[in-house]
Every structure is written in structure tokens, then in C-alpha cells.
């Protein structure tokens, strides 16, 4: 959209900002702050235009600049609002889509062009100016989804499997090589694809506006503006609406842990550390070269609170996944001695960040019943997904980084050595129910030199494909919700890069089609069988059958449901067929084979049990019955009693 070139009134006019709005902002409790600060359509005494409001308490002057005044500071000066630190004004004649910035004369007299922290839309990179935009130009069609989510409450017992997507590299527009799919094209292509594979949710890597493609959105420049790379805010609403109408939830990556230092951004906004701490030992991240939010300041907390609520309220998202929570919790995160300041108790915990996260989770869950808050937290911090009233942080789910690291490390080993490392598979069950876990196989594990998922697997081509199927089967069988990064579902060979689309040509080959069919079958089994998901977060939903057969590299366990149904899983982590392998059970009769990752449907060799086996009534290892089964090579099989 082209910006307007017409001239406007030669000065700003005063505009009223309500006393209650100012009071709530000062208290850090204005949940709709984005409707007060920023730029909003306004019908004033001189006709239609836009009103502006920005928080810059230490500024000497603030004005609005754009094409309408040749980007000249001082032409349209804003007015200070009664000792609140807010500057406001109204410009008649400004049109929807016009570009603008704030010219902020800081505490020490320097004037810097700053983007609007509450901008609802921004120009396409490399430009960083905000666009005058609106909030209420879309009619939703997902009322049934939203009502059901609200009525059901937290999805702790749901069958959740998440497909993680980087919108800029999932698939490209073939009409113009190298161009992104738009939000609406993703609605037409991505949504049916995800639905066909049976995933319940899509998690998008950050979609808030960011200037650098290579940051993948994790260095956010405009917290309230969906990126213009893929279309307008209304187009993003259309995509989310399409997901909901197809029965798919939407999770959005959110980054309240840090923000970039670019001069036009939030940093040193009024010449001082406004959104960040002044002291670099508290206000900067050495790893990422970014600023850290000052979580102890009411106005900063309110900025982040209202931003989180904004995505839920205005875009109907179903969950926020918070990136790098560990970096928020610890004052000494990735810092050496002398590079951090202890808290008021002398410890390394960031008390302000802890309070912020707890309050945020309480507010989100109160306002949006059924919505999820998800923590990527890589340490052993206790109670991340436990309620605030019990001393927890209040998240709905936590990524299980320990499971991911141990399991991937195990699978990289040649099967001949796996018997020495079986504890890497079994150890996760010691803590599997300490949190409400999501098992993540995310973008972080298939980039930056780590190689693709299938590329980590040992052996020849057949063994690599079999190991991939075995890994995914083990992941789906293990307690916890599931998350899989795009491309892993069909065994992409090359490492993921944001500069290229996925290797879709691979999906034309039978072995890769088989991997996709496996994911489709796992998702269907996961949804259809309560034993696979209802007690994901409780010991009563899991029971070891045998975890001690190190010599054979075989483990067996039960997944159980409250209705008494159960599924027996057996995993053979070697390429050797195990004939007449004995497994204990306590239910007599016929056990039907309901899943086999070695099926020809999935590209396997079809070694199996001819539909099932009969339980034998001889006591075995403390079990009253046993099954004599054939274990296919590098495969997982599942049985349920009839």
C-alpha cells in the first residue's frame, strides 16, 4: 500500500486521554492499552484523522513525522498529558495506511526517529515506519471453535500434536520463485496439509514484525504488528480463522525476553533506559546483543501484558509459546562473574521476571479460559507448569528439553552401542510427570550445523528411514504432548534454512511418502485412543513392562486410560528381528496389533504378528500372562487387548 502524499494540518490538535486509562497504565493493569496508546482513527473537530499517544516520560519533545510533513520533526508536535509521561495529539487528514514515526527529542537533547511501540502494522522491510491502521476491520467465522475452547477449559487431557512452521520457508509461491506465501495462500495450502496429516495445532515461529529475516522473528521490532511479509493484519486473521474452521488450533511464538538495539526500536526510547534497565548488567543479553525488558517497571509490564492479551483477543490465537524463559529467570544467565547484579536477597533469580511471568499467566488464564501458555525453559526450575497458588510459574505446558536431548543423542548412536545407553531412553520417566510436558522436536534441532532429523540417524538409507519411523513412533508413544518441526514429517535430508523452502520433491518418493503416512497414522491413533493422551500428565497413565533388556535394546511399556483401556508398546532399537520375544501382560485373550512402524504402508519390511497374538496363562516376571511376539527390526509395535 502506498502512503498518502497529501499534506495535513500544519500542527497537531489536543486530544483527550482518559484519567482512568492513565491510572490503570501507571498501575500496570490496563489490559487494552493498545487501544489507547499508538495511532487510532479519530473523528475530531477538523474532521477525520488519526490520534497518537506515546509513552516517553523523559523526552523533551515528541512529534509525529511522515510523508504528510516531509518527515520534518516539530511540525506536528504532541502534547504532554498531565504528569503521566504520555504525549498525545490528533492530526486531521491522515489516512488509513499512511506511514509515520515519532521524532523523540530525548533527555539529553538528541532527536531520534522512533517507530511506534504500539504500531498495529508496519511497512515491509527494510523500512521500519509504522502504518496508520485499524483493529476492527475483520468479521470472524470461528464462533463455534472459540465457544468450545472456552467451555472446555485447559487442554491438559487433550490429544495435542503440534506442527511447527516457519511461514517464510514452508513453501514458496511458484508463480514468483523465491517469494513468500501470503497469509491467505497459507490458509489455502498449509491448513489442508496439516489437517490431512492429523495435527491438532500449528505453531508459528514469531509473526510479529521483525526487520531481519535471519532472526526468524526472535528479534521483534514491532510487538503489535503482524509482519507485512505475508500480508495485512486482516490477512493473518483470515489464516487463523481458517485454521479454527478446519478444527486446528494456533500457537504463536512470543518473545518477551529481549528486544533488538536498533536505534529506531524500543531501546533508549526517550534517551534513557525506558523499556530496559539502564545498567548493562541488568539490561543487556550478551548472547544475542539485545536489551532485556525491565520487568519491575509497571508501564513495561503493562506493555507486555497488553501485547500478550492482544494476540489472544484480536487474533483469536489459542496459545503463546514463550521463547527462552530460562534467560528471564536467571540474572546470571550466560554471564560471567561481575556481569550481573544479585537480587535483593543476594541470589541469582530474577525476582521481577518471576513475578511478571506468574502474573501474566494468571491474567491470560482468567481472561481466556482454555488458552495455553507454554514455556521453553531449558533448566530444572521446579513448578514451571504448576499453578501460581502452589508456588509454580503458572504455565499450561513446558517443553521437555531433557527428553529431547537424551533421545536425540541415543538415536545418533549405532545400534551396536545402544545397549550401553538405554538409560537415555528410560531416564525421562523419572521426571515425566513433574510438569505438563510437550515433547519438542523443534527448528532448533535441525539448523545451525545440527543437521536434519533423518541425517542424525545411523546406518544405510533403509536403516535411516527405519530409525526415523522408530523415533517418531517412540515420541508419540511417550507421555506428553507432541511438537514436530516442518519437514521432519517426510524426512527432509538437508538441514533447515530460512532461505529455502522445504524439499517438497521428496514427497514424490515412496519412502518419504511412507514417513508421512506414519505421522498420519500416529496422529490418528493418538486421537482415537484415550490411553494415548488422557493421562499424559499422571503416573496412572503409564506403566513399565520391561525397561531392563539392555542386551536386546528393547523396551516395553503400557499406556493406560481411566476407562481401563490400555496399549502395549514394544520398541526394538536394533536392526535384528526378535522372534518369539516374551512380554508380560495381565489381560487374557487376544491382543490385536494396532500399529507397526515396519508396515509396508510406511515403507517398512512388513515384519509383524499377523494381526495379533494370544496371551498365554503362564506367570512371567510377576505378570499373570505373557505374549510371544515378533519384533520387527528398528521398529515400534503396539497391541491392545480385545
Active site residues: 323, 376
Matching residue, cell 471453535: 145
Judge whether 639 and 571 are in contact, CB under 8 Å: no
H helix runs in 378-531, sequence order? 401-411, 423-426, 461-477, 510-528
Q: How many CB atoms lie within 10 A of CB 185?
A: 19
Rounded CA-CA distance 395/417 in Å is: 38
Kindly state the helix (H) or strand (E) to which residue 24 belongs, with its residue range.
helix 19-27
User: Sign (positive/negative) of CA torsion 265, 269, 272, 274?
Assistant: negative
Q: 80-108: b or e for each residue (b if 16 or more CB lie within 10 Å)? A: ebeebbbbbbbbbbbeebbbbbbbbbbbe
> Would you give the DSSP letter of residue 129?
-
First and final CA of the chain: distance in angstroms?
62
User: Sign (positive/negative) of CA torsion 321, 504, 522, 598?
Assistant: negative
* Per-residue cell: 167: 511461514
Rounded CA-CA distance 110/57 in Å is: 15
Proportion of the chain in helix, strand, coil states, percent, rounded to 5: 30, 25, 45
- The residues facing 180 across adjacent strands are 172
Radius of gyration of the chain (CA): 27
Rounded CA-CA distance 107/635 in Å is: 66
To the nearest 10 degrees (0 to 180), the angle between helices 183-197 and 510-528 is 70
Rounded CA-CA distance 634/464 in Å is: 9
Total residue length of the chain: 642
Rounded CA-CA distance 471/480 in Å is: 15
Peptide bond just before 126 cis, omega within 30 deg? yes
Q: How many CB atoms lie within 10 A of CB 350?
A: 23
Amino acid at each position: 500500500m502506498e502512503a498518502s502524499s497529501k499534506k495535513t494540518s500544519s500542527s497537531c490538535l489536543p486530544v483527550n486521554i482518559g484519567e482512568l486509562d492513565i491510572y490503570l497504565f501507571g498501575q500496570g493493569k490496563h489490559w487494552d492499552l493498545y487501544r489507547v496508546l499508538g495511532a487510532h482513527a479519530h473523528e475530531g473537530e477538523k474532521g477525520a484523522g488519526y490520534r497518537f499517544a506515546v509513552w516517553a516520560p523523559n523526552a523533551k519533545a515528541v512529534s509525529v513525522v511522515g510523508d504528510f510533513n516531509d518527515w520534518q520533526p516539530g511540525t506536528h508536535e504532541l502534547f504532554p498529558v498531565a504528569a503521566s509521561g504520555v504525549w498525545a495529539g490528533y492530526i486531521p487528514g491522515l489516512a488509513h495506511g499512511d506511514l509515520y514515526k515519532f521524532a523523540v527529542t530525548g533527555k539529553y537533547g538528541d532527536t531520534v526517529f522512533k517507530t511506534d511501540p504500539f504500531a498495529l502494522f508496519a511497512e515491509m522491510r527494510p523500512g521500519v515506519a509504522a502504518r496508520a491502521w485499524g483493529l476492527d476491520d475483520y468479521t470472524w467465522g470461528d464462533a463455534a471453535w472459540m465457544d468450545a475452547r472456552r467451555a472446555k477449559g485447559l487442554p491438559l487431557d487433550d490429544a495435542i500434536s503440534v506442527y511447527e512452521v516457519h511461514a517464510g520457508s514452508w513453501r514458496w509461491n511458484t508463480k514468483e520463485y523465491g517469494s513468500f506465501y501470503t497469509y491467505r495462500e497459507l490458509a489455502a495450502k498449509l491448513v489442508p496439509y496439516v489437517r490431512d496429516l492429523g495435527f491438532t495445532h500449528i505453531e508459528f515461529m514469531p509473526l510479529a514484525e521483525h526487520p531481519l529475516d535471519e532472526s526468524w522473528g526472535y528479534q521483534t521490532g514491532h510487538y503489535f504488528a503482524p509482519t507485512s511479509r505475508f500480508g495485512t493484519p486482516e490477512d493473518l486473521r483470515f489464516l487463523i480463522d481458517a485454521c479454527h474452521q478446519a478444527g486446528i488450533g494456533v500457537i504463536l511464538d512470543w518473545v518477551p525476553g529481549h528486544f533488538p538495539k536498533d536505534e529506531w526500536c524500543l531501546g533508549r526510547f526517550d534517551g534513557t533506559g525506558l523499556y530496559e534497565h539502564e545498567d548493562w548488567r541488568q539490561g543487556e543479553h550478551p548472547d544475542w546483543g539485545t536489551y532485556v525488558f525491565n520487568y519491575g517497571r509497571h508501564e513495561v509490564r503493562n506493555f507486555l501484558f497488553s501485547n500478550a492479551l492482544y494476540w489472544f483477543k484480536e487474533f483469536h490465537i489459542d496459545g503463546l509459546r514463550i521463547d527462552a524463559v530460562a534467560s528471564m529467570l536467571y540474572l546470571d544467565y550466560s554471564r560471567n562473574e561481575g556481569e550481573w547484579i544479585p537480587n535483593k536477597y543476594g541470589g541469582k533469580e530474577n525476582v521481577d521476571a518471576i513475578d511478571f511471568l506468574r502474573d501474566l499467566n494468571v491474567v491470560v488464564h482468567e481472561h481466556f479460559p482454555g488458552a495455553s501458555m507454554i514455556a521453553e525453559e531449558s533448566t530444572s526450575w521446579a513448578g514451571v507448569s504448576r499453578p501460581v497458588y502452589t508456588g509454580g510459574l503458572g504455565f499450561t505446558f513446558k517443553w521437555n528439553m531433557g527428553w529431547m536431548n537424551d533421545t536425540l543423542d541415543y538415536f545418533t548412536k549405532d545400534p551396536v552401542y545402544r545397549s550401553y545407553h538405554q538409560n537415555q531412553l528410560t531416564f525421562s520417566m523419572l521426571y515425566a510427570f513433574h510438569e505438563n510436558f510437550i515433547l519438542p522436536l523443534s527448528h532448533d534441532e535441525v539448523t545451525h550445523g545440527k543437521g536434519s532429523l533423518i541425517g542424525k540417524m545411523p546406518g544405510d538409507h533403509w536403516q535411516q528411514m527405519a530409525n526415523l519411523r522408530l523415533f517418531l513412533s517412540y515420541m508419540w508413544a511417550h507421555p506428553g504432548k507432541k511438537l514436530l518441526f516442518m519437514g521432519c514429517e517426510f524426512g527432509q535430508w538437508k538441514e533447515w534454512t530460512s532461505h529455502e523452502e522445504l524439499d517438497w520433491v521428496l514427497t514424490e518418493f515412496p519412502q518419504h511418502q511412507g514417513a508421512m503416512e506414519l505421522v498420519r497414522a500416529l496422529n490418528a491413533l493418538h486421537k482415537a485412543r484415550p490411553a494415548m493422551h488422557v493421562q499424559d500428565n499422571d503416573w496412572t497413565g503409564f506403566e513399565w513392562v520391561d525397561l531392563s533388556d539392555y542386551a536386546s535394546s528393547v523396551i516395553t511399556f503400557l499406556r493406560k486410560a481411566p476407562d481401563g483401556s490400555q496399549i502395549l508398546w514394544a520398541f526394538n532399537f536394533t536392526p535384528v528381528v526378535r522372534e518369539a520375544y516374551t512380554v508380560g501382560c495381565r489381560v487374557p485373550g487376544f491382543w490385536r496389533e494396532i500399529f507397526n512402524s515396519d508396515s509396508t504402508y510406511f515403507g517398512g519390511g512388513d515384519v509383524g504378528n499377523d494381526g495379533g497374538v494370544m496371551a498365554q496363562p503362564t506367570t512371567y516376571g510377576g505378570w499373570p500372562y505373557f505374549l510371544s511376539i515378533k519384533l520387527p527390526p528398528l521398529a515400534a509395535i503396539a497391541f491392545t487387548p480385545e
